[in-house]
Amino acid sequence: MSIANKFRVGTFNNISRVGLSRFRQSAYQVGALDTGDEPIQEPQAIMIRSHKLQVEEIPKSVCAIARCGAGTNNIPVENLSERGIPVFNTPGANANAVKELVLCGMLLASRRIHQGINHVKEVAKEEGVHVAVGRVESDKKLFAGQELTGKTLGVVGLGAIGAGVANAASNLGMKVIGYDPALSVEAALALNWKGTDFILANSLEHVAGAADYLSLHAPVIKGVTEGMINRDMLEQMRPTCNIINFARGELVDHSALKSAIDAGIFKGNYVSDFPNSEIFDYDQVIAMPHLGASTAEAEENSSSMAADTIMSFLETGSIINSVNFPTVKAEPKPESTAVRACIVNENKSGMLAAITNALAEFNVVRQQNDSRNNIAYNLVDLEDLPSDLDALMSTLTSIDGVLSARFITDGESSKYKLNRDTTLA
Same structural domain for residues 309 and 280?
Answer: no
| More reliable by pLDDT, 153 or 121 | 153
Inform me whether the pLDDT recorded for 131 exceeds 70. no
Bridge partners (DSSP) of residue 64 are 45
Question: Among 326, 292, 330, which residue's Cα sits nearest to residue 311?
Answer: 330
Arithmetic mean of pLDDT, 246-266: 96
Mean pLDDT of the chain: 91
For residue 425, is it within any domain? no
* Residue 415 confidence (pLDDT): 73
CATH of residue 386's domain is 3.30.70.260
For residue 178, is it within any domain? yes
Identity of the amino acid at 206: H
Same structural domain for residues 318 and 356?
Answer: no
Inform me whether the pLDDT recorded for 238 exceeds 70. yes
For residue 247, is it within any domain? yes
Q: How many CA atoms lie within 13 A of 214 on its CB side?
A: 29
The domain in which residue 125 lies consists of 95-287
Same structural domain for residues 320 and 369?
Answer: no
Q: For the segment 294-310, what is each residue's pLDDT rounded down to a tens digit?
A: 899 999 999 999 999 99
Same structural domain for residues 160 and 40?
Answer: no
CB 316 within 8 A of CB 72: no
Same structural domain for residues 272 and 130?
Answer: yes
What's the pTM?
0.81
CB 220 within 8 A of CB 251: yes
What is the number of domains present in the chain? 3
Local confidence band at 118 (pLDDT 50, 70, 90 cut-offs):
confident
Instruction: Return the minimum-mean-pLDDT range out of 26-30, 64-68, 196-200, 279-283.
Output: 196-200
Domain boundary among 287, 317, 350: 287
Same structural domain for residues 347 and 247?
Answer: no
Domain boundary among 303, 325, 347: 325
* Residue 424 confidence (pLDDT): 44
Same structural domain for residues 102 and 66?
Answer: no
Query: Which pairing describes strands 364-372 and 375-382: parallel, antiparallel, or unpaired?
Result: antiparallel
Same structural domain for residues 61 and 181?
Answer: no
Same structural domain for residues 183 and 77?
Answer: no
CATH of residue 202's domain is 3.40.50.720
Same structural domain for residues 336 and 383?
Answer: yes
Local confidence band at 422 (pLDDT 50, 70, 90 cut-offs):
very low
Same structural domain for residues 100 and 82?
Answer: no
Q: What value does the CA radius of gyration of the chain take, rounded to a whole number of Å?
A: 26
Arithmetic mean of pLDDT, 342-371: 95
For residue 111, is it within any domain? yes
Q: For the segment 159-177, what is each residue's pLDDT rounded down to a tens digit?
A: 989 999 999 999 999 999 9
Inform me whether the pLDDT recorded for 66 exceeds 80. yes
Q: For the segment 303-351, what is each residue's pLDDT rounded down to a tens digit?
A: 999 999 999 999 999 999 999 999 999 999 998 899 999 999 999 999 9
Same structural domain for residues 52 and 149?
Answer: no
